[in-house]
């Protein structure tokens, strides 16, 4: 018998996630319990296994499920609610604040990945990359400075994109969906280049974000973002 999935107007994966979440909250499946395999759930919900996989991954990202290869999926013990971080389109951030957007490419070249970048992307040192440095502006004032390395093999056709004339942040968000990401936030004093790009002074305290993304097959990009003084980043739950 096929289980009834609530909220039929939702995409199937979200509806399945909704029902699994309900079973966990109602303690039908308790902390530490192994839940049915994806194949069994696919039969129960009348869905493709890939759809069930997507639903369970959504709940793992929320911290409700613990998924381990060859060990199955269990209800998390002492689940921790996770903040959701999305990759913004900087132009939209700036325009939503009522400012006019501007974008300037500082440098663009094809270059082998140095050791530190290769380690961050999990590729071999010297792998061919696109190295891009750019500044985003709001009302002609620097908003953020990014130093980005892009893997041209990550997405079909990416190698032909001319990032000297295309906003890499916006293109990657729209065309290179990622399956996992690493985010690191830190405070740092502006070095000479940060200060010059952000029109501030060396030693000014800045928020620095390192972000690296991968799809199922390849690393996509790693970027160091230096934000204007006083910049804040919010998360949603």
Domain ranges of the chain: 12-75, 90-227
Tell me if 11 sits within 8 A of 45, measured CB to CB: no
Model-level pTM?
0.67
What 8-state DSSP symbol labels residue 160? G
pLDDT above 50 (res 35): yes
Q: What is the pLDDT of residues 4-25, one digit of tens each?
A: 444 444 578 889 988 998 898 8
Topology given in CATH for the domain delimited by 90-227: Chorismate lyase (3.40.1410)
Q: What is the DSSP string of 179-235?
A: SEEEEEEEEEE--HHHHHHHTS-TT-EEEEEEEEEE-SSSEEEEEEEEEPTT-----
Confidence at residue 177, expressed as pLDDT on a 0 to 100 scale: 84
Domain over 12-75 is classified CATH 1.10.3720.10: no
């Amino acid at each position: 018998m096929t289980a009834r999935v609530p909220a039929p107007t939702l995409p199937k994966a979200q509806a399945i996630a909704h029902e699994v979440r309900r079973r966990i909250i109602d303690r039908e499946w308790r902390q530490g319990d192994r839940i049915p395999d994806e194949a069994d759930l696919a039969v129960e919900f009348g869905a493709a296994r890939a759809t069930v996989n997507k639903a369970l991954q959504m709940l793992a990202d929320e911290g409700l499920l613990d998924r381990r290869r060859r060990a199955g999926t269990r209800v998390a013990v002492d689940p921790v609610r996770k903040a959701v971080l999305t990759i913004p389109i900087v132009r939209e951030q700036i325009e939503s604040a009522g400012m006019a957007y501007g974008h300037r490419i500082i440098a663009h070249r094809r270059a082998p990945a140095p050791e530190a970048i290769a380690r961050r992307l999990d590729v071999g040192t010297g792998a061919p990359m696109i190295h891009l440095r750019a500044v985003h502006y709001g009302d002609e004032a620097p908003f953020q400075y990014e130093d980005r390395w892009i893997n041209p093999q990550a997405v079909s056709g990416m190698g032909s994109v001319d990032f000297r004339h295309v906003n890499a942040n916006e293109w990657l968000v729209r065309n290179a969906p990622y399956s996992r990401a690493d985010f690191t936030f830190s405070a740092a004093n502006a070095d000479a280049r940060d200060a010059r790009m952000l029109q501030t002074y060396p030693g000014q305290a800045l928020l620095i974000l390192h972000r690296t993304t991968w799809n199922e097959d390849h690393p996509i990009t790693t970027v160091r973002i230096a934000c204007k003084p006083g910049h804040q980043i919010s998360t949603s739950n």
